[in-house]
């Protein structure tokens, strides 16, 4: 498979697979132990809940009538294919490849949900009073491990670009 210099794509694909496995394991626990809408208070700012998201981030297009399931599945599959190609092309760029692997694992985890259930299973519910003006009751939209992987990856891509630009000066 792809190797550039001494760098291999396999560790990055392994990271993506680990994210998918952790994501699917935690979602299986939630599906097996919670009914839709159930909630367990863990701290004064964090609950474990069971929520279904038929849309995208922040429930975008969640009430669009069903077509969004296949639209977001298609985007996820296309993104995964592009990311694998990018990982094969740049496995030696560690921060870049780490970020892509996190996004890949998250995208695949959520695509699996859409294919199996028709929705994404969310279960991490953080809430703070200062968010009340932005989100109902101060509850940030529920999310999952896949979403966390995508977010970590996006932050990594931004950081990688900032560092690349600074090196170019």
Q: What pLDDT sits at residue 113?
A: 95
- Encode 126-152: b = buried (16+ Cβ within 10 Å), e = exposed: bbeeeeeeeeeeebebbbbbbbbbbeb
Cβ pair 91, 3 in contact under 8 A: yes
Q: What pLDDT sits at residue 2?
A: 46
User: What 3-state DSSP class applies to 147?
Assistant: helix
Block means of pLDDT (10 residues each) for the chain, 169 residues, are: 68 97 98 97 97 73 63 87 95 96 97 93 95 91 96 98 89
* 141 DSSP assignment: P
Q: Structure pTM? A: 0.89
Q: What pLDDT sits at residue 71?
A: 81
Q: What pLDDT sits at residue 75?
A: 86
* Burial group, residue 31, by CB count within 10 angstroms (0-12, 13-18, 19+): middle
Cβ pair 64, 55 in contact under 8 A: yes
Q: What pLDDT sits at residue 60?
A: 58
Q: What pLDDT sits at residue 5?
A: 59
Residues labelled catalytic? 122, 147
């Amino acid at each position: 498979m792809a190797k550039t210099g001494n760098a291999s794509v396999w560790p990055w694909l392994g990271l993506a697979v680990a994210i998918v496995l952790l994501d699917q394991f935690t979602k299986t626990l939630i599906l097996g132990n919670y009914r839709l809408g159930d909630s367990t208070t863990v701290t004064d700012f964090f609950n474990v809940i069971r929520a279904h998201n038929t849309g995208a981030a922040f429930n975008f297009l969640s009430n669009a009538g069903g077509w969004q399931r296949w639209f977001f599945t298609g985007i996820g599959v296309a993104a995964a294919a592009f990311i694998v190609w990018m990982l094969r092309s740049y496995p030696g760029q560690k921060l870049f490849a780490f970020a892509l692997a996190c996004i890949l694992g998250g995208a695949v985890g959520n695509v699996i949900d859409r294919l199996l259930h028709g929705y994404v299973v969310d279960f991490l519910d953080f809430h703070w009073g200062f968010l009340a003006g932005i989100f109902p009751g101060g509850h940030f939209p529920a999310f999952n491990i896949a979403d966390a992987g995508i977010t970590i990856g996006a932050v990594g891509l931004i950081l990688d670009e900032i560092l690349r630009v600074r090196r170019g000066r």
